[in-house]
A and B are shown apart, each in its own frame.
Chain A
Amino acid sequence: MSSAGVPHTDLWPLLLYFELVLVVVGTMLALPPFLGERRTRRTPATEQPYESGIVAVGSSQLRFSVRFYLIAIFFVIFDLEAVFIFAWAIAFRESGWPGYIEILIFIGVLVATLVYLWRIGALDWRTPRQRGIEATIHQ
């Protein structure tokens, strides 16, 4: 690990890049009014996302069950934890017994979390209403 840091004279590519970004974005914002089509007459079709003759059906704002998001979040979290386990697996020999014990603790906490999520019903796909109906059926 060098402690010299970045010499400031080597920063000019970064500055150049920064200026180029400004130029490109500025051009993209400045040109469309001159190059685009002239909209003198606004019709309902002008407001459509696709002005290609096909009339859009319905709204794009659908309602998803909040459970989709819950499962998605669990997936992201547990997926990330798996990445940590992979990182340990690569350094398996170097980390030795302490590393093994540490990853055991790590996985133990993960299992505890999974048990918790399972028990509070976070993995249950049904809504409370469906659960109630099913309970009456089984009686």
Chain B
Amino acid sequence: MTADALTALLPFIVLSAAAVAVMLAIAIRRSFRLVFWLTVGGLLAGLSTLPHASPVAPLQVTDLLRIDAYGLFFHALFLLSALVVALLCLAYFRRRENENEEIFVLLLTSTLGALLLVSSAHLAMFFLGLEVLTISLFPMIAYSVRASRPLEAGIKYLLLSGLASSFLMFGMALVYGDLGVLSFEQIGAHGAELEQKPLALAGLFLILAAIGFKLSLVPFHLWTPDVYQGAPAPVTAFLATVSKASVFALLLRFFTAAHAERSETFLCVLGLLAVVSILAGNLLALLQVSLKRLLAYSSIAHMGYLLTGFVAAGLLRRDLQTETIAFYLAAYTVTSLAAFGAISALSDDDRESDRLSDYAGLFWRSPWLAAVLTLSLLSLAGIPLTVGFVGKFYVFAVGVQAETWPLVATVVIGSGIGIYYYLRVVLTMIQPAGVGQRVTLHPAAGTALAAAALVILAAGLFPQPLIDAAANVPQPPPTADSP
């Protein structure tokens, strides 16, 4: 292994070492604060290795991993999100009644899984990364063991994830059985003849089903509201952002490497998934009285918007596709972190405040918190001056340019419905305050929320730096085109 390869692998090495170090620190002395600072140190160290890794990119490290600017952009995004989630955890577990230190080990390992996932160039690494991410998420979701909701959510996620993983495995087996290769690049070399290979095509659809489960696209979405509602709020924030964005980043890398965009069938299926996700997500969100469930359905709809951008931009140009997806994912991640962060700041491991009535009069009880939540909801709705608007504009623009009118119409209808239920939450917050007491904001949660809100506003007003970061992304692995 060359020095370059080791440099490129540094983010993974540092993050793995940090997870082991945090685990040993817990063994030596249980101190929530010490473990928190170690985790933050590990994440910052991981971030600081990214500038060293970027000059050697793009680089293929073994058959399994490919380090390129596309992956590094998402590495930075995930490490920063994990940092925000760590801050939220510090505030959320402030009562310190149980032994809560292990959540940081799990946070580090699941972040490692997400990083592996976006850099994978091989079906084996795809599976490994996904499992590292998912298996760390099971205990995180069921972390508050004394309550029944988290346990239920954990079991549901475990069973359904296992099912999705078996679909994924079967799909990979079919692809391997028909093509005899596992690396994305070699699968791409078969791209042109894919339509004539029924087994491999069936395999790709099974893989798509597994990815659809992780992204909670509509036929596979049933777990989302229950798990989002049951999991502790910081974990929900992680689940909604890092877990989903990493799988979507992988979807883009895998399907462009496999030249799936050449297949009409595939684009039709993806478009169909996008339409039903947007409609079902938005319509079901109308009925919710729990803010976490509402955001869960809204995330289903947002994955639909993303898929619309994926299909439409895929018809146009590769670089536009990466730019659209990377920007939208970054925007969605920041916005969701702010929204779930606000829920997390109002809850602790004893009581989750996720009912809409918990937010009545929040503007009078805690104006800053209410402002951040409003900002993130407006960004989710795609109101101008927020980063969500720029993201939605991208999706809209590529949809119009590619002349995919049914998709554009669905996005318009979905956004219209979306504004209604997002504003309903805002209206609840400005109702006259009842007997509610003032909310004291934990400094860690305050920092995390302020940072997220600043990014939403700054990137909404001056989107260019973020666009550049997302657009400098070169192609996912350049594939040797088959003649």
Contacts and interface: CB of A to CB of B under 8 A. Distances in A.
B178 interface: yes
Contacts of A119: 26-28
B219 interface: no
Interface in A107-132: 109, 112-113, 115-116, 118-120
A98 B1 contact: yes
Interface residues of B, number: 18
A118 B200 CA distance: 47
With a 10 A CB-CB cut-off, give which of A1, A2, A116, A118 has the most chain B CB atoms. A116
Interface string B446-479: 0000000000000000000000000000000000
A54 B190 CA distance: 66
A74 to B, nearest CB: 15
B24 A5 contact: no
Interface residues of A, number: 16
B20 A120 contact: no
B179 A109 contact: no
A6 B28 contact: no
A82 to B, nearest CB: 19
With a 10 A CB-CB cut-off, give which of A3, A5, A112, A113 has the most chain B CB atoms. A5
B80 interface: no
B180 A4 contact: yes
A8 B1 CA distance: 41
Contact of B179 (A3, A98, A113): A3
B199 interface: yes
A104 to B, nearest CB: 14
A65 B199 CA distance: 47
A5 B23 contact: no
Given A3-B181, A5-B178, A6-B177, A112 B1 contact: no
B197 interface: yes
B199 A5 contact: yes
Given A5-B197, A5-B199, A98-B1, A116 B24 contact: yes
A2 B177 CA distance: 10
Interface string A76-112: 0000000000000000000000100000000001001
Contacts of B177: 5-6
Given A98-B1, A109-B20, A112-B20, A120 B26 contact: yes
A112 B28 CA distance: 11
16 contacts: A1-B181, A3-B180, A3-B181, A3-B190, A5-B197, A5-B200, A6-B178, A8-B198, A8-B199, A112-B20, A115-B24, A116-B23, A116-B24, A116-B26, A119-B26, A120-B26
Given A5-B197, A115-B24, 7 more contacts: A5-B179, A6-B177, A6-B199, A8-B198, A112-B20, A112-B23, A116-B27
